[in-house]
Structure 1
Amino acid sequence: MGIEVKYPFLFLLLIPAVIMVFLYIRYHWGKGKEIYLIASLRLAIFCLLIFALTVPQVLLPVKGQAVVFLADRSASIGGNDEALAWIENSVSHRKNEDQFAVAGFGENVVLEQNLGRNREAITEFNGKTDDSQSNLEAGLQFAASIIPRDSAGRIVLMSDGNETAGKSLETASVLKNRKIEIDHVLLKTASGEDVSISKLSVPPSLYLGEEAPVTIEVTSNISKQTDIRLSVNHKEILKETVQVKEGKNVFTFSHKADTAGLTVYKAELAADQDAFAENNTLHSVVNVKGTPKVLIVQGKESGDIASLLKGSGLEAETVLPEKLPTVLSGYLQYQSIIFNNVPATVISENQMKLMEKAVKEFGTGFIMFGGEESFGLGGYFKTPIEKLLPVDMDIKGKKEMPSLGLLLVMDRSGSMAGNKIELAKEAAARSVELLREEDTLGFIAFDDRPWEILETEPLKDKKKAIEKIRSITPGGGTEIFTSLEQAYSELEDLQLQRKHIILLTDGQSATNGDYDLLIESGKEKNITLSTVALGQDADRGLLEELAGMGSGRFYDVTDSSVIPSILSRETVMATRTYIEDNPFYPSVHPYPDWNSLFENGVPKMNAYIATAAKPRSQVPLLSEKEDPVLAEWQYGMGHTIAFTSDFSGKWSGDWTRWEKWPSFINQLVTKTLPQYESEPYRVSVENRDGNTVLSLESAVSKSMPIETSIVSETGEQIEANVRLTAPGKYEATMPESAGMYFLNIKQTDQNGNIQVHQTGFTIPYSEEYLQKGENKEHLESLSKMTDGVELASPEDAFRPLKKPASTKQPISNWLILAAFLIFFSEIAIRRFGLTALAASVWKSSIKKKEKPDAHMKIQKLKTYREAQSPSVQAAVKRQGETSVKITKEKVTGKKKQNRTKPSAEPSPKEREERMKRLLDAKNRKNK
């Protein structure tokens, strides 16, 4: 038991308090001894109040102690059997009052067993930790948070001591102030044969056709054979078997830069019985300057753009939409992307997002040509592609459309749970947004029976309809025919120009029905049917047959992210009025870049897809209905163009026979090419305390403000604040996460001119995947700082703490109460004086003492009278009567002088008092 104070410096207030009391005594010197008492009381009051201000707390010892076992579960440890065995043995030696908890850590921390007086410890780790880092700081902070605040405790750290993230020594200093000890148990690191790529060096910039040296540095802990593979933009260019020796090995290869743009070099190792596969890959990004490269994504019957561009000096590559890249680097190697009559239903949402990032953040150009599977007809409504284009796909309110009845029949069985049903609901919501309020909409969700979510009627409240659709939850089985039959019955009697049903399911129907009769009777009522098969378990044969019979379209979907595009495309195609197929001559707006092409007139055009120009876009060509035929704008760093007619000539008519058609296409592509400056930035990457620090250095050392954009290989935007550290030098800090990243630097000079530089960098794998052995020194430093030790045996984990745990009880209120009581006493002394108070107290005590003495005398008298003989009592009685009579006569004689009163017998009380006086008189006489 002890006392501690929170603000001990407040004891300095005792100095002025003593001085004030001293001055009081000096001023009242010689005025009595009461002055010393008052001064003492005042000093006591000051002391009590000042002591209360320091917030004193009584320390009460706590029985037992709190111990947190913190186990390293990073990759460098390998298995956790050693740590589990230590915990189990330690817990078996604890006392009944002791509490313990178990936590595991890697890059993150997981609580395995909460703090308590558990009888047994866990036998295996169940929490999921990221083993790519050893974040000792996070682990210690978490373990300390388990120990009750303001209470001592112990953390048993079981690790190899290799810290790859965080600053554990700083955390240890904080724990020392909390009286938390850190004991440690040294765990062995994972052992085994390991070969790793420690460095990949390629020049940061190359020219097209330049022979580039590629250096690969390999580190191994054993001599063995391994395969080295080198790829450029995900295409393997080299594979060689080499002999590596123990230690550092350097291999140099060469490669001719044969493609322009950002080029990704990837080095890989393949070795038998390798401990860590994570350290076998490294990337390097190179900016190759040369002929601009264009990616052409070609649909069906769309013409051949690549052959036309070859004569313009551009390098073109044509791919099918199904073969589009799935990583950002796959798009950054191109300076422009062309979509030629490509439907959105075969492109995943993620691929669209990557292209949108390439355009916005890195200046890649984008062109979309029209056609039956492009723009709104292709299902691009509310997609990332629509976001980057200068036109909107929705044209509601611009023209009279035929009356439409749309009924959605969607599977809500248990197999649709999760992402599939969420995307299906989002798709249905987009379809609602595309409809007009006068259109008719119905929605049936089915499992083993149909559920009518929206009654088939004119769409009056879109917001309410979307809310109902998004409230759908998964149900039971799958039964298609009954729901489809209900959908046909609700549409067949409606007087509408277009009636369309969209059926979406991922399963097989539990029952069979007469689909032929149902669909044929529906066709007589002008009802069409499209079907969507989602996933591998869907009945593709049935759904494809139903779509064929229903004069609709069948979609075989393997990536559920395309569902929204499918439903929006179906909604648009149900109207068939997005295609404007009346031949016309486009009108030209006076934009200087295009005027020279149309000096001799504009060719005739057959058709185009109706769209709406966005507010900031430029529209050089307009239709007779003032719809955009050619629109362009700047989207972020990139320039995008929409040409709503087609390239094949089916819609564009005389344009493909126009002598300036090749120049027109070439100008379209040229306008979308990024305008890069040649000013380079040197980029370097280093690790500081678990964070990646990106250093940028300008070759001209000018301190101009810059804007940077960092995007990962998967298209994720990385937040990084760039700060100026020196003239022409900048730094950006970002979380450490291994992988490849692309950097876009935008600098604005004093005249407002913008210069752009593109590059890339890689963050290598964590040091966790390097076999560095145990770092015992680091663990000893942590223990020494907090008065901990290295545990020699498991039972030592619950040994007594050097600074035992205790609870704190504040006593400030009691001190203040005591000060007030003394204060009131001091007031009483000053008001009445010490002598008066003492006399009053003495007088009060005397009165209390007299009362019991008189009562005692009366009792003695009664006892004495009872003890006398009858003769003595009679004599005493006669004597008393004579005395009383004489006294009475005297009194009576005196009263007769004034007035005459009748005599009366004395009362018993009077007689008792008389007897008392007689006895007193007798006693005095005997003395």
Structure 2
Amino acid sequence: VRIKRDGQLIAKSVTKIEAGEEVLRIREKAPGPGLHRYDVEVSATDPSLDQAPEDNAGSAFVRVRGPATALVLDGEDGKGAFIARALRDANFAVQTGMASTIPPDIGGLALYDVIFFSDIPAHVLSPTQMDALATYVRDLGGGLVLMGGDRSLGPGGYSQTPVEEISPVSFDIKQDRRRASLAEVIVIDYSGSMAAPAGKNTKLELANEASVRSANLLGPGDRLGVMHVDTAVTWTLPLAPVTDPAAIAKKVRAVGPGGGGIYVDISLRAAYSALDAEKVNLKHVLVFADGSDAEQMAGCRTLVTNAKRKGITTSVVALGQGSDVPELEVLSKLGDGRFYLIEDARRLPTIFTQETILAARSALNEIDFRVGMGASSPPTRNIDFGQAPILKGYVVTIPKARAAVMLTGPEGDPILATWSVGMGRSAAFTSDLKDRWGRHWTTWPGASSLVAQLARDVNRLADDPRVRLDADTAGGQLHMRAQVVDEQGRAQTFRRLTAHVAGPDGLSYTVPLEPIGAGAYAATQALSRPGTYVVTARDELDNKIVSTTGAVLTAGEELRPTGSDRALLARISSMTGGKSRDTLAGIFADRSAMRFSYWSLTSWLAGLGSVFLLLSVAARRLSVPSALLRIPQRLRRKPKDAREPARSAEEMAATLDRLGKAKERSREAAPPGPAGPLPAGLGNQRPPPVAQQPWRAPPVGQPTAPVAPTGPIATQAPPRVSSPPSARPLTAAEILLQRRRGRRQ
């Protein structure tokens, strides 16, 4: 059994554990204040008997209340002694360390309330550590103080990184008009070995991305060239002014792996030849090569030495320990440049940005000066900076829009600036407090007061003692519970709390803590990967952190038995018509009764309804051509007899002639009518025509009397009523009026 606290082994023993579950009780005195992590590892003395060693570890967090804790990190051992002493005098619990002791994840950083970070280059940190620093400030409410130096801020390669995002000052050298123009050529090895993966990307993709970041740091007054080399030189980006970073990025990122290893001699000749023609103040070559695949280096020492005489410096980045690494390092020294040996290609972007800033020689301003006063704030309160000694240099930066600049240097450059970011605060002191630039300040009492007051200003707020937050992992889920009491110790139920979870690789979740009882709140969050998770509870009323805890999801968590809820399984089988079985024997022979199955017609009916709807609209809006409407009539018409001959015009004329002659014969054969009165026997014959008088309408109101005919047949012929010629048809009213008049008569 091994027990670790905050990553350090504190106890080890051999014990006997019986089968099943057993509890081991180990007494440990509470360490200093902060959020401490305990790891317990249980392994068999004979490893061959352990079939699943992945589930041998467990972790837990313990929160110890007390004075604020501070971590002082410096690139060289002992260089942060002045800052550590000033913090101890201010009642901080202080721990010191170097680059090798930087906590690996967010769980290690959560132990501290404030961190001082000085002279540690960015390429020493892994991407996980870089993300953890940003998460520590933004999500956990921690305090971070960035100190200046030739390996800090911009010169340290932190431009365009998560650290710059949370810094109150920007490391962008494009906006510094005082610096000299730079012409730089980047030589990239794109041989076949660069196609190997390094994390989520290949080595070549990371090198291309590093070149893009270097281009983003340069301005229109600078010139940049990028060449990809294997056994031949390919100018991906000829040496030209940096006017369109987006176009440069598109060209560089489009390059894929090539063939054999990089030929160093032809690469240097092409780069030096291009830089010879440039008339700028600074000229620099950056070579990136595989440490075991750099070829054709004979005569390269002479090339580098001659280029140095012409003012061209050369730096080299070697990837991996290989046989060519010693010679590559010699070339960088002869070229008055820098040599970088890395094993992780994911650190290439930070190295390229660091090298570009150092080559521009603008980030460091080493002159004697006295600080000027800026905005009044708690870190500088009650300190007489008029009595402050000189500083001998600083890192040139640009303050961000929301930052408060408290101390200034030459030309108004920021020396001390702070701001709030997320739940925490960060500060930047662009000079140092050690033997390079701030040697005189280390003997001035005001500097100690400045360090103490600055730490209190950015320090993480203490937890609310009335809120207790616990968290653990089980079944791939993070379970969070909070107990809240008021000032009298009674349960407080009406608080609105939110839990923020910070996990590995920058993962973050925000879930509400729901009330589950008197003064009790809980929430559950599914976890996607193993690692350390730090939970902070926030009060939604004032958006302040009231409590912090943590939990660890180990890789062997899924191997641990969780047991079976037989009662729940029995209810499920009963509700669904199934059976509870203790064995799988005969499961395929045990078939249930046949059941009806249904097929939903919803989609088909919806489709048909849509079609009929469109047809109904078309019937109202569209008309059928008349030619189509006449087709049924033509089909119903009786066809003519094809055998009936058509009548000719001559036959029709002959027929009309015969009819005319027959009519004339009938007229000649008829006897003439009598001149006198007709005999009595002919009274029923038609009388001869008589002259008719013009018809006149009778006066209104008088009946119309029949007119008796005159002549010899008046006594025999029936009376006739002469009617006027009808100019128009009678209306219904006129017809009814005539009928009434007839009845009255």
| TM class by smaller structure | 0.7 to 0.9
Cα shift at 1:498: 0.6
Could you say which residue in structure 1 is the equivalent of 2:33?
260
Partner of 2:204: 421
Contact 1:327 1:715 in 2 (8 A): no
Tell whether 2:225 aligns with 1:448.
no
Displacement of 1:334 in angstroms is 1.8
SS of the residue corresponding to residue 431 of structure 1 reads helix
Please report how far the alpha carbon of residue 257 of structure 1 lies from its aligned counterpart in structure 2 after TM superposition.
1.5
Distance, in Å, in 2 between the alignment partners of 1:687 and 1:589 is 49
* Pick aligned residue for 1:234 from 7, 23, 29: 7
- 2:347 maps to a residue whose letter is V
Secondary structure, aligned partner of 2:298: coil
The equivalences for 1:282-301 within 5 A come to 282-300=58-76
Rounded to whole Å, the distance in 2 between the matches of 1:384 and 1:352 is: 6
Give me the whole-angstrom Cα distance separating, in 2, the residues matched to 1:697 and 1:360: 25
* Rounded Cα–Cα distance in structure 2 between residues aligned with 1:397 and 1:560: 29
Provide the secondary structure at the position in 2 that maps to 1:241: coil
- Residues 1:336 and 2:122 are matched in the alignment: no
The match for 2:304 among 498, 502, 519 is 519
Contact in 2 for aligned 1:283/1:740 (Cα 8 Å)? no
Bigger radius of gyration: 2
- The answer to which of 765-774 and 671-680 deviates more is 765-774
**CA 1:726–1:266: 2 relative to 1, 3 Å:** same
Partner SS state of residue 249, structure 1? coil
> Sequence identity of aligned pairs in percent?
29
The one-letter code matched in structure 1 to 2:406 is: P
Given that 1:295 and 1:338 are in contact with CA atoms closer than 8 Å, whether structure 2 keeps it comes out as yes
Counterpart in 2 of 1:54? none
What SS class does the counterpart of residue 357 from structure 2 fall into? helix
Tell me which residue corresponds to 1:663: 449
1:712 maps to 503
- Displacement, 1:559? 2.2
CA deviation map 1:262-309 (0-9, x unaligned): 001122211242343344322221111224332222124845333454
- Aligned-partner SS, 1:244: coil
Counterparts of 1:353 and 1:699, CA distance in 2: 35
1:577 aligns with 2:362: yes
How many angstroms apart in 2 are the aligned matches of 1:706 and 1:794? 50
1:478-627 correspondence to structure 2 within 5 Å: 478-481=261-264, 482-506=266-290, 507-537=292-322, 539-593=324-378, 594-598=380-384, 600-627=386-413
Amino acid at match of 1:606: K
The alignment status of 1:747 with 2:509, answered yes or no, reads no
Q: 2:523 aligns with which of 732, 735, 739?
A: 732
1:674: which partner in 2? Answer: 460
Partner residue, 1:756:
546
The answer to whether the Cα contact below 8 Å between 2:472 and 2:551 also exists between their aligned partners in 1 is no
Q: After TM superposition, list the pairs within 5 Å mapping 1:166-565 onto structure 2.
A: 228-271=1-44, 272=46, 273-300=49-76, 302=79, 304-305=81-82, 306-417=84-195, 418=197, 419=201, 420-481=203-264, 482-506=266-290, 507-537=292-322, 539-565=324-350
Question: CA 1:767–1:348 in 2, change beyond 3 Å: closer, same or farther?
Answer: closer
Return the offset for 1:581: 2.3
TM-score, normalised on structure 2? 0.72
Q: How much has 1:243 moved relative to structure 2?
A: 2.1
Greater fraction of residues in helix:
1
Shift of 1:722: 3.7
Structure-1 residue corresponding to 2:431: 645
Match of 1:108 in 2: none
Using the alignment, how far apart are the partners of 1:359 and 1:757 within structure 2?
15
Q: Distance in 2 between matches of 1:602 and 1:688?
A: 57
* Structure 1 residues 343 and 259: CA distance shift in structure 2, 3 A: same
Q: Distance in 2 between matches of 1:326 and 1:689?
A: 25
Decide whether aligned partners of structure 1 residues 458 and 620 sit closer, same or farther in structure 2, where only a CA change above 3 A counts: same
User: In the alignment, which residue of structure 1 is the partner of 2:698?
Assistant: none
Q: Distance in 2 between matches of 1:329 and 1:671?
A: 23
User: Separation in 1 of the partners of 2:568 and 2:42?
Assistant: 33
Aligned-partner residue type, residue 502 of structure 2: V
- Cα distance in 2 between the residues matched to 1:762 and 1:576: 45
Instruction: For residue 796 of structure 1, report the CA deviation from its aligned partner.
Output: 5.6
1:682-717: CA deviation from partner (whole Å, max 9, x where unpaired): 345588997544232312215233343111255521
Per the alignment, residue 629 of structure 2 pairs with: none
Q: 1:269 to 1:687 in 2, by over 3 A?
A: closer
| CA distance in 1: counterparts of 2:288 and 2:157, whole angstroms | 16
How far off is 1:390 after superposition?
0.8
Match of 1:819 in 2: none
Unaligned runs of 5+ in 2: 487-491, 610-635, 639-661, 667-745
Aligned counterparts of 2:300 and 2:170: Cα–Cα separation in 1: 38
Higher relative contact order (CA 8 A, sep 6+): 1
The alignment of Structure 1 onto Structure 2 pairs a total of residues equal to 599
Cα distance change of structure 1 residues 781 and 408 upon mapping to structure 2, 3 Å threshold = same
The equivalent residue for 2:561 is 770
RMSD: 3.8
Matched AA of 1:664: L
Distance in 2 (CA, whole Å) between partners of 1:897 and 1:309 is 152
What is the CA–CA distance in structure 2 between the aligned matches of 1:756 and 1:283, rounded to whole Å? 23
How far the C-alpha of 1:363 sits from its partner, in A, is 2.2
Determine the structure 2 residue equivalent to 1:156.
none
Change (3 A) 1:687 1:398: closer
Distance of 1:310 and 1:499 partners within structure 2: 47
With 256-265 and 716-725 compared, the bigger mean Cα shift is at 716-725
- The Cα of 1:229 is off from its aligned counterpart by 2.1
For structure 1, list consecutive stretches of 5 or more residues without a partner in the other structure: 1-227, 817-843, 848-894, 900-927
